[in-house]
Amino acid sequence: MARTVADFGLTCGTLPTGTHNAITDVPGVRVGHCTLRDGDINTGVTAVLPHGGNLFRKKVTAASHVINGFGKTIGLMQVQELGTIET
């Protein structure tokens, strides 16, 4: 069974964890995911909707971190220059 940071008596940040210890514990946040598997093809996408409003009018703060350098990113330039994301 996978263990979490909390299993070791540690906490991250200053806010308490939610009921499910998940991003969807934050009011208004919605998450969707789709995985496609067909032979040698394995791909997927995850969408995080931070609020139910218009993301073009009410932008949200964003940040990024590339771990292995092989990821393909879209919109990263806007995040780096403006600190917001809208798509």
What is the pLDDT averaged over residues 31-54? 91
How many C-beta atoms lie closer than 10 Å to residue 86's C-beta?
14
Integer Cα distance of 28 and 56 in angstroms:
17
Considering only CA atoms, which of 78, 87, 21, 1 is closest in space to residue 48?
87
The answer on pLDDT for 3 being more than 90 is no
Strands (E), 1-87: 30-38, 41-49, 60-61, 84-85
- Torsion sign, CA atoms 69, 23, 19, 43: negative
Entry pTM: 0.59
**Domain spans, the chain:** 1-51, 53-87
User: Which pLDDT does position 45 carry in this prediction?
Assistant: 87
Mean pLDDT, residues 37-54 taken together = 90
Quote the DSSP letter at residue 79.
H
